[in-house]
Amino acid sequence: MWYELDVNDRFVAVSNNWDALSAAANVPGNMFEAIRYRPIWEFVVGDETQRFLRAMFFLARSKRRDITLPYQLDGIGENSHFRMRIEPLQQGGLLVAHDPERRNASPPQLVSYAANDLTRCSQCLRIGIDGVWYTAEPTQDLASHSNWCVCCQCKENALSLVQEMREPPVASYARAGFSKY
């Protein structure tokens, strides 16, 4: 599944299966005609998550390099692990693809927590309690009770991706040819 964003991060195109997936998930508000030309930020929950994704979008655009980030979706069971691939397009647009990732799920840690004041990572869905992040499976819908952020591990993973991105080599061979003049 993929979508294309314009330079202002508005939806301008989606994959052929977009509407079918939206209908199967019983989310008619996500049909392409309902989201066309709307900014993606209307659909991203949490200020910190928005800042994180804005930074990744900026980096992909400014470096003209693809970025791939792992993330997890809430409430869809074992098949919840994905990779988001952000590809820069001409004129500042982005192609954002979401590909399922097969992985062996680690058993959740049993953690007691109060649902009314819960911090969750929007990328890996871990639960933060007193500065410690736990992999846990909530027994209830926590979206409305959660304070969404991006945990330190997900930030570090993204930072290591950024540090791996090197500028393309400057055409030193071209300069070498002109050094005689």
List the domain boundaries for the chain. 44-169
DSSP state of 85: E
Question: What pLDDT sits at residue 173?
Answer: 41
Going by pLDDT thresholds of 50, 70 and 90, the confidence category of residue 156 is: confident
Q: In whole angstroms, give the CA distance from residue 52 to residue 124.
A: 13
**For strand 118-121 and strand 146-149, is the pairing parallel, antiparallel, or unpaired?**
parallel
pTM: 0.68
Question: What pLDDT sits at residue 141?
Answer: 56
